[in-house]
Amino acid sequence: MSQKDQSTTDFGYKEVPTDDKVKHVADVFHSVATKYDVMNDLMSAGIHRIWKKLTIEQSGARAGMKILDIAGGTGDLTLTFSRIVGSEGQVTLADINDSMLKVGRDKLTDKGAVANIKFVQANAESLPFPDNYFDIITIAFGLRNVTDKDAALRSMQRVLKPGGKLMVLEFSKTDNAMLSSVYDIYSFNILPRIGHIIAGDADSYKYLAESIRMHPDQETLKSMMQDADLVNCKYQNMTGGIVALHTGIKP
């Protein structure tokens, strides 16, 4: 947590009681779950697929591994990982939101890809898995919604095997002034309108834009990962720093 009053935390640009943030975030994702994939494609012009593809390519995933996809939502990463690890491996899709988990389960069931997939409703801050269990953990576009990010990173580190890799794919900060200006106009003027038209919910997409701005920048998140006893922590900017992929290893 930050040095501010820990009885409150950010929910976008608002301050809310810390204990209430999970409910507020849950309400957002209950609202958008059924349109989540469509909105992802519209919001990013499909570029989110490239960001996720690069994440998988850099994961080092191979047959027989155990992989945890936190905030896995509708299962984009889980689906590809399940094909890589094969019948001897296992992928666990974990999400705190039961609406998102249901959409993900239905989607992956329709694709016939659930034989080596487990679905678990879980809070990233207190993961219900044994110590030293997973070879790889990913959390894509989910960490910014977590109330206590430091606790979540420690929880992820705990359930990683020694030598295992944590990968955090998340919106981040660009230092390109022109790109930043265009991005702000898009995020706060166009995105909520798209959300209203497609998902019938402008407020949730306004929150999503605000939550991105409140998320730690690249160097801060790298330091947080190091504080969680991960080593070889580094990040790769994508699309001018709008998105960054952070990685760290459990010693």
Is the pLDDT reported for residue 39 higher than 70? no
For the chain, the domain total comes to: 1
How is residue 23 written in tokens?
């409910």
* Per-residue pLDDT, 37: 67
Look at strands 134-140 and 160-171 and give their pairing: parallel
Phi, psi values for residue 63, rounded to 5°: -55, 140
Show Cβ contacts of residue 77 under 8 Å, excluding neighbours closer than 6 positions: 52, 55, 56, 69, 138, 140
* Per-residue pLDDT, 32: 67
Q: 74 - beta bridge partners?
A: none
| Higher-confidence position of 213 and 127 | 127
Residue 112 lies in a domain: yes
Q: Is 100 left (phi over 0), alpha (psi -120 to 50) or beta?
A: alpha
Residue 135 lies in a domain: yes
First to last CA, the chain: 24
Residue 194 lies in a domain: no
Look over the chain and give the mean of its residue pLDDT values, rounded to a whole number: 90
For 125-152, the pLDDT digits (tens) are 999 999 999 999 999 999 999 999 999 9
- Secondary structure (3-state) at 85: helix
The domain that holds 123 is classified in CATH as 3.40.50.150
- Report the 10 Å Cβ neighbour count for 57: 10
Domain that holds residue 56: 21-176+204-249
Residue 30's pLDDT band (cuts 50, 70, 90): low
| Higher-confidence position of 62 and 34 | 62
Is the pLDDT reported for residue 1 higher than 50? no
| Distance in angstroms (rounded) separating the CA atoms of residues 161 and 100 | 27
For 151-207, the pLDDT digits (tens) are 999 999 999 999 999 999 999 999 898 988 888 888 888 888 877 887 787 887 888
Residue 72 lies in a domain: yes
Residue 102 lies in a domain: yes
* Per-residue pLDDT, 96: 94
How is residue 51 written in tokens?
């960001």
Is the pLDDT reported for residue 220 higher than 90? yes
The secondary structure of residue 189, as a DSSP letter, is I
* Per-residue pLDDT, 57: 97
Q: 237 - beta bridge partners?
A: 244
Residue 223 lies in a domain: yes
* Per-residue pLDDT, 52: 96
The secondary structure of residue 247, as a DSSP letter, is E
Residue 234's pLDDT band (cuts 50, 70, 90): very high
Residue 4's pLDDT band (cuts 50, 70, 90): very low
Residue 58 lies in a domain: yes
Task: Identify the CA nearest to 151 among candidates 134, 126, 133, 128.
Answer: 126
* Per-residue pLDDT, 3: 45
* Per-residue pLDDT, 5: 54
Average pLDDT value for residue range 59-88? 97
Residue 187 lies in a domain: no
* Per-residue pLDDT, 2: 41
Residue 235's pLDDT band (cuts 50, 70, 90): very high
